[in-house]
Amino acid sequence: MFNKLRSFFSSKKNITYTVVIAMFWLKMTFIQGGVFALNMENINQSAILAFNPLSSIFLLFGLGILLAGRKGLLGAYIIGSILLYANVLFYREYNDFITIPMLGQAANLAGLGGSISDILSASDLLLFVDVFAAIFLLFYLKPSRFQSFMPRRKEGLIMAMIAIPLFIVNLAWAQTERPELLTRAFDRNLLVKNIGVLDYHVYDTLVQGQTKMKKTFADSNELVPALNYINEKKVEPNSEMTGVAEGKNVIVLSLESTQTFVVDNTLNGEELTPYFNDLKEEGAYFSNFYHQVKQGRTSDSEFLLDNSLYGLNRGAAFFTHAGNEYEATPEVLGENGYTSTVMHANDGTFWNRNTMYDSLGYDEFFDKEDYDVTEDKSFGWGYLDEYFFSDSLDKMEELDQPFYNKMITLTNHHPFTLPEEKKLIEEGDTSSGTLNRYFQTIRYQDEALKQFVEDFKASDLYDDTVLVIYGDHFGISENHQKAMGEYLDKDINDYEQFQLQRVPLLMIGEGIEPKEYDTLGGQIDLRPTIMNMLGVQDENPVQFGQDLFSEERDEMVITRDGNFANEDYVGVNEACYDRETGEEVEADLCTPGFDEAEEELGLSDSIVYGDLLRYLDETEMIEEKSSNNTDK
């Protein structure tokens, strides 16, 4: 077989195949090894990365020829190049790869504005030079140099079939580095490193089809493992905090792209968050609180807040599963006399919020159409925070009480730009323009927060309201580790990058003791904590979070990519670190933590993908009947 293959590609007639494949292979190798930060750890991994483009190239080009001959080959080359470039842009922004569900969120691109222009580069044109070379080679090269290239459909079929053994060899080789690669795939970087970006998209397509089937064939029995797991981990909330805010309003303020590293930190001797630094002395401040979002970003943080379920590893539940049945915070509070609202001065369709909020049980959504959004009050992503805060407070004073209100800010959003007159400090001087501008938008946000909180304190709402302020997700991605190291004056390894996933959490209100907590927690814990303070009996047993004030809670936080931190260790990308010192320790010490993270994330995914909460009443009745039989 391989002799025939060698003779096929070495013949003068078919040398064009060799040249075209070589060009695209070089392109993929350059992008995978030079653009994506895939962290090659040894020669074997580098060799796998160099080999893995071949199966996808043979499949793509073979199908192109099979469908449309020479034109099909060129079309396949162009499609492959566009897909690679789309991943380059996505990776620059999110340090992640495109998934099928994310393609369904193309409507969001209309709102990205400056973010897209910021990640484009003039040098990107070089990534398409080979496309023009392929056009010339296939259609304009003189026959005197190469024999006229007219591929036959049969040859396309042969190429597509060759892709199968190439992929089998690739997968077997990859599994010498990562056993069970395709069955334990929480990390897309790991997948691309081992099977290549184009084969990853084939895999992602198959996974998407499988997840669609899960809901169709799901039944109530699939909810039982999650219920058993949650019951085993269940802890009693802090009884002293139970009902401290009973009957009070709740304002949950989600601060866009706000990370804990800016708190109590300075730039050129000036505090980045001077107001928040003082404000946190007035309430319960959690310094080891982590975001747990993935591709859904802010919408994932909302999903975590209202459901105590994890967002998805692929796409955003706000888009892919807005039609599910939920027993979310707004619905439960509505049964206890609360009005539930959201205030966000962006388009109502962005992240499919207008649909998802109905599913979650919100009574009203104040979006862009409800605010006085004018050109002089807007910049970058839209309505500036200072105006959003002022208008929102006016709206809250008109709401029926008690209310549960979620506010989502906009200004501190990538690419972190401001009008000149709103810049309260100088830019940073690191090697990243993104980080340098981030300091300015964080400082602006802090000043807008000051205006809001001081006006709130002076309002009639203050004495009857609990204010919860938290960061929704990171603002500075792993792509800026060098610059973060320059600013923080330390090397940013995996351990330090994990610590940078902390976001601030502050709760202020009567009955909440001003104190800094070093409790390990995450956004999954917000719902049970708030519900306990309100004294509301939350009857939904399907929640993975625990009361942050509970003295019995597990010292464990799990991130959406399968990493974790517990009382002793931090597990990141299969490596293990001492939590206190940051020193790398024996990997086996983190195995139980990784296993727990995988199990918990898998159970949460099964609930969302299978829409299993629709069976909650049925499952409860089965358990109750079983219990009654036992009593007899």
Averaged pLDDT, 109-129: 72
Query: Active-site residue 630, yes or no?
Result: no
Distance CA 519, CA 603 (A): 24
**Which residue out of 16, 260, 298, 409 is catalytically annotated?**
298
Question: Would you state the pLDDT for residue 229?
Answer: 96
Averaged pLDDT, 527-547: 96
Kindly tell me if the per-residue pLDDT of 488 is higher than 60.
yes
Nearest Cα to 368, choosing from 106, 102, 107, 111? 111
Q: Which residue has the higher pLDDT, 186 or 445?
A: 445
Kindly tell me if the per-residue pLDDT of 109 is higher than 60.
no
pLDDT digits (tens, 9 = 90+) for 553-592: 999 999 999 999 999 999 999 999 999 999 999 999 999 9
Give every strand in the sheet of 584-585, ordered side by side: 556-558, 564-566, 569-572, 575-578, 584-585
Question: Would you state the pLDDT for residue 3?
Answer: 55
Q: Put residue 252 in one of left, alpha, beta given phi > 0 → left and psi -120 to 50 → alpha.
A: beta
Work out the pLDDT band at 141, boundaries 50, 70, 90.
Answer: low
The rounded Cα 481 to chain-centroid distance in angstroms is: 18
Question: Which segments of 489-562 does DSSP mark as H helices, in order?
Answer: 494-499, 526-534
Cα torsion for 21, 22, 26, 29, to the nearest 10°?
60
Question: Which segments of 98-252 does DSSP mark as H helices, in order?
Answer: 100-103, 114-119, 129-135, 153-174, 188-195, 197-217, 224-233
Question: Would you state the pLDDT for residue 621?
Answer: 43
Distance CA 197, CA 55 (A): 11
Kindly tell me if the per-residue pLDDT of 456 is higher than 80.
yes
Domain 221-626 falls in which CATH fold?
Alkaline Phosphatase, subunit A (3.40.720)
pLDDT digits (tens, 9 = 90+) for 343-401: 999 988 788 898 899 999 999 999 999 999 999 999 988 899 999 999 999 999 999 99
Kindly tell me if the per-residue pLDDT of 44 is higher than 60.
yes
Tell me which H or E stretch contains 360: helix 353-360
Question: Would you state the pLDDT for residue 181?
Answer: 83
Question: Would you state the pLDDT for residue 207?
Answer: 77
What are the residue boundaries of the structural domains of the chain, listed by start? 2-214, 221-626
Question: Would you state the pLDDT for residue 626?
Answer: 41
